[in-house]
Amino acid sequence: MDIENELLKFISTQVVQEGVVVDEPLISSGKVDSLGLVDILTFVEQHYHVDLLSAGNPKDFESVLTIAAAIRQRQS
């Protein structure tokens, strides 16, 4: 499974309990609140060993696509 699919599965089942599209705004749409963002950041750190909170910027959290891109950037 690629990063986007893993993130989609986690967010859809553990954070919002509904479908999410890869390019859909997560926070500005209201689907993900601050606690949901913490859950996503924890998942990313545990599964990809990337700390987006300390190394990322707010635009990294706009969608599944931007989160996946930030993970890839910090893994390389």
Rounded to two decimals, the pTM is 0.91
Q: Do residues 11 and 64 make contact, with C-beta atoms less than 8 angstroms apart? A: yes
Residue written as token pair 């089942």: 13
Ordered per-residue pLDDT tens for the chain, 76 residues: 699 999 999 999 999 988 899 999 999 999 999 999 999 999 999 999 999 988 768 889 999 999 999 999 988 8
Q: Which two tokens stand for residue 38?
A: 């913490």
What domains, with CATH codes, occur in the chain? 3-75 (1.10.1200.10)
**Where are the alpha helices (H) located in 1-76, listed in sequence order?**
3-10, 34-48, 52-55, 64-75
Residue written as token pair 């859950």: 39
Residue written as token pair 């309990």: 17
Neighbours of 41 (CB within 10 A): 18
